[in-house]
Amino acid sequence: MKQLHKQSSVNHRRDEEMLIPQTPPYSPKTLKHPRSLPRSINYLFKEQRLLFIFIGILIGSTFFILQPTLSRLAPSETHPSIPRSFSKDEVISHTQDFSVSTKPLHGKPGRVPVGIGRRRMRIVVTGGAGFVGSHLVDKLIGRGDEVIVIDNFFTGRKENVVHLFGNPRFELIRHDVVEPILLEVDQIYHLACPASPVHYKYNPVKTIKTNVMGTLNMLGLAKRVGARFLLTSTSEVYGDPLQHPQKETYWGNVNPIGERSCYDEGKRTAETLTMDYHRGDGVEVRIARIFNTYGPRMCLDDGRVVSNFVAQAIRKQPMTVYGDGKQTRSFQFVSDLVDGLVALMEGEHIGPFNLGNPGEFTMLELAEVVKDTIDPSATIEYKPNTADDPHMRKPDISKAKELLNWEPKIPLREGLPLMVNDFRNRILNEDEGKGS
The residues annotated with a catalytic role in the active site are 263
Q: How far is the CB of 197 from ligand NAD (least distance, A)?
A: 11
Nearer to a second copy, 208 or 290 (CB): 208
Nearer to a second copy, 285 or 305 (CB): 285
230 makes contact with a second copy (CB under 8 A): no
From candidates 271, 284, 302, 336, binder to a second copy by CB under 8 A: 271
- Per CB under 6 A, residues contacting ligand NAD are 126-127, 129-133, 150-156, 176-178, 191-195, 199, 210, 214, 232, 234, 290, 292-293, 299
Q: How far is the CB of 271 from a second copy (least distance, A)?
A: 5
Q: Could you give the CA distance from residue 54 to residue 409 in angstroms, rounded to a whole number?
A: 65
176 makes contact with a second copy (CB under 8 A): no
Residue 292 binding: pick among ligand NAD, a second copy, none (C-beta 5-8 Å cut-off by kind): ligand NAD
Site for a second copy in 340-359 (CB under 8 A): 352
Residue 265 binding: pick among a second copy, ligand NAD, none (C-beta 5-8 Å cut-off by kind): a second copy
272 makes contact with a second copy (CB under 8 A): yes
Of 263, 299, 232, the residue nearest 390 (C-alpha): 263
- For a second copy, which stretch binds (CB under 8 A), given 14-22, 192-200, 257-265, 400-408? 257-265
205 makes contact with a second copy (CB under 8 A): yes
Residue 261 binding: pick among a second copy, ligand NAD, none (C-beta 5-8 Å cut-off by kind): a second copy
b/e 276-303 (16+ beta carbons within 10 angstroms → b) = ebbeeebbbbbbbbbbbbbbbbbbeebe
Nearer to ligand NAD, 214 or 347 (CB): 214
Other Cβ atoms less than 10 A from the Cβ of 368: the count is 14
- For a second copy, which stretch binds (CB under 8 A), given 28-36, 138-146, 267-275, 367-375? 267-275
Secondary structure in 3-state letters for the chain = CHHHHHHHHHHHHHHHHHHHHHCCCCCHHHHCCHHHHHHHHHHHHHHHHHHHHHHHHHHHHHHHHHHHHHHHHHHHHHCCCCCCCCCCCCCCCCCCCCCCCCCCCCCCCCCCCCCCCCCCCEEEEECCCCHHHHHHHHHHHHCCCEEEEEECCCCCCHHHCHHHCCCCCEEEEECCCCCCCCCCCCEEEECCCCCCHHHHCCCHHHHHHHHHHHHHHHHHHHHHHCCEEEEEEEHHHHECCCCCCECCCCCCECCCCCCCHHHHHHHHHHHHHHHHHHHHHCCCEEEEEECCEECCCCCCCCCCHHHHHHHHHHCCCCEEEECCCCCEEECEEHHHHHHHHHHHHHCCCCCCEEECCCCEEEHHHHHHHHHHHHCCCCCEEEECCCCCCCCCCCECCHHHHHHHCCCCCCCHHHHHHHHHHHHHHHHHHHHHHHHC
253 makes contact with a second copy (CB under 8 A): yes
276 makes contact with a second copy (CB under 8 A): yes
Of 342, 343, 404, the residue nearest 138 (C-alpha): 342
Residue 133 binding: pick among a second copy, ligand NAD, none (C-beta 5-8 Å cut-off by kind): ligand NAD
Residue 188 binding: pick among ligand NAD, a second copy, none (C-beta 5-8 Å cut-off by kind): none
- For a second copy, which stretch binds (CB under 8 A), given 40-48, 232-240, 302-310, 317-325? 232-240
- For a second copy, which stretch binds (CB under 8 A), given 6-14, 45-53, 210-218, 306-314? 210-218
From candidates 255, 317, 379, 385, binder to a second copy by CB under 8 A: 255
Q: How far is the CB of 285 from a second copy (least distance, A)?
A: 10
- For a second copy, which stretch binds (CB under 8 A), given 111-119, 124-132, 201-209, 316-324? 201-209
Residue 295's region, left for phi above 0, alpha for psi from -120 to 50, else beta, is: left
Q: How far is the CB of 237 from a second copy (least distance, A)?
A: 6
262 makes contact with a second copy (CB under 8 A): yes
Q: How far is the CB of 268 from a second copy (least distance, A)?
A: 4
Nearer to a second copy, 50 or 98 (CB): 98
The site for a second copy (CB under 8 A) is made up of 203-205, 208-209, 212-213, 216, 237, 239-240, 251-259, 261-262, 265-266, 268-269, 271-277, 279-280, 287, 352
